Structure 1
Amino acid sequence: MPTPANLSFHRASPAHTAEVLSVLNEAADWLRRREVTQWPDRFEPSWIDEAITRGETWLVRAGDKAVGTLTLDWSDPLWSDVAGSAGYVHRMAVRRRAAGLGAVILDWAADTVRLNRREVLRLDCVASNSGLRAYYEARGFVHRGDVPVGGAPGQRRDDGPRTWVSRYELPLPG
């Protein structure tokens, strides 16, 4: 695994779409082979284009190699019923050769959210993914309820099949 000293975070541009998709699809394939229904088998470019255009998607690099990605944004309708200023992590993924990097990425996200004067870091995962839920809880995230979302797992739509997701938040002391 790359060490935190070797890592850098770079805002993805439309020119990086293929790299972001490569990381996401590698992670999605790994989950599928383990029969974990967290994400679709493959991500469509249209599912990430807007976040990249808004400057919310990041590539994590070890040297010149993309080893992870995440989207960090400042609103999420899935949380409209919960007060507080927050940053939201979506589509966080790491390449298998960088397994264990998730903690570093979450720390970076928490620091970035804190620097933007937000109170909490929020994220969600498919409610049936007990392994990922336990991981978040071990990192100090607090479960804030389960809610249904439309579309395939990993997709946010108003129509299509419904998937229950578990919402988590991490308080960020000033």
Structure 2
Amino acid sequence: MVGGGSDDKVTFRRAGVDDIPDVLRVLDEAAAWLRERGISQWPARFEAGWIDDACRRGETWLIEISDRIAGTVTLDWADPVWADISGQAAYVHRMAVCRWAGGLGAVILAWAADTARHDGRDALRLDCVASNRRLRAYYEASGFVHRGDVAVGGAPGQREQQGPVTIVSRYERPLPAAGGNTV
């Protein structure tokens, strides 16, 4: 049950530049919740410049439940963190859920898998800070396989050439062709 009701309508809509404040609000709420639990997955606050390009490219989505913003996700078609592993994959970034919409993460991951499969991708990939054991266990329980840890530059959640270094764990979920068995 997502958001508290069995008949809640979940919709995905592309986030445009005008939606950046809403995307930032969801990301910042999730970042604050993580910080309260001592998890350094993301920076204390996101900056508009970090998501502007993804919104302009149409890769960032707002998820609504009964017309109320409940989450956000960016679905990219490339990620340099994965340059050493071949395959046609889609990449989940900045997936965040408002606290009132518990359970939405599974819906978002299923949508991302379906979207990637429809685009002809054979895998769904994502990463998280290696020290976030709870999130790693969640991804593994959702059918993702650990594909190694790598160092990335910038604050947690960024991809920069400089700045602090964060170790992230990469995860991949194979996507069988439509009609095939899923993991």
TM class by shorter-chain length?
Answer: over 0.9
Kindly state the Cα deviation for residue 64 of structure 1 after the two structures are TM-superposed.
2.0
1:73 correspondence with 2:76? yes
Q: Does 1:170 align with 2:178?
A: no
Give the 3-state SS of the residue equivalent to 2:28 in structure 1: helix
The 5-angstrom pairing of residues 116-127 of structure 1 reads 116-127=119-130
Structure 2 residue corresponding to 1:42, chosen from 31, 35, 45: 45
TM-score (norm 2): 0.93
Aligned partner of 1:136 in structure 2 is 139
- Of 141, 159, 163, 2:162 maps to 159
Equivalent residue, structure 2, for 1:108? 111
SS in 1 for 2:126: strand
Q: Percent identity?
A: 63
2:62 is matched with which residue: 47, 59, 62?
A: 59
- 1:111–1:121 distance in 2 versus 1, CA, 3 Å: same
Task: Show structure 2 runs of 5+ residues with no match.
Answer: 178-183
**Partners of 2:15 and 2:55 within 8 A in 1:** yes
Q: Which segments of 5 or more consecutive residues in structure 1 lack a partner in the other structure?
A: none
How far is the alpha carbon of 1:65 from its aligned partner? 1.1
Distance across 2 between alignment mates of 1:158 and 1:4: 45
TM-score by length of 1: 0.98
Please state how far the C-alpha of 1:4 moved relative to its aligned partner. 7.6
Q: Are 1:31 and 2:34 counterparts?
A: yes
- Displacement over 2 Å in runs of 4+: 1-5
Paired AA for residue 109 in structure 2: L
After TM superposition, give the deviation of residue 63 of structure 1 in Å. 2.0
| Correspondence for 2:20 among 2, 17, 20 | 17
Cα RMSD (Å) of the superposition? 1.0
Cα offsets for 1:126-162 (capped at 9, x unmatched) = 0000000000001110000000000010111000010
After TM superposition, list the pairs within 5 Å mapping 1:91-106 onto structure 2.
Answer: 91-106=94-109
Inter-partner Cα distance in structure 2 for 1:110 and 1:143? 17
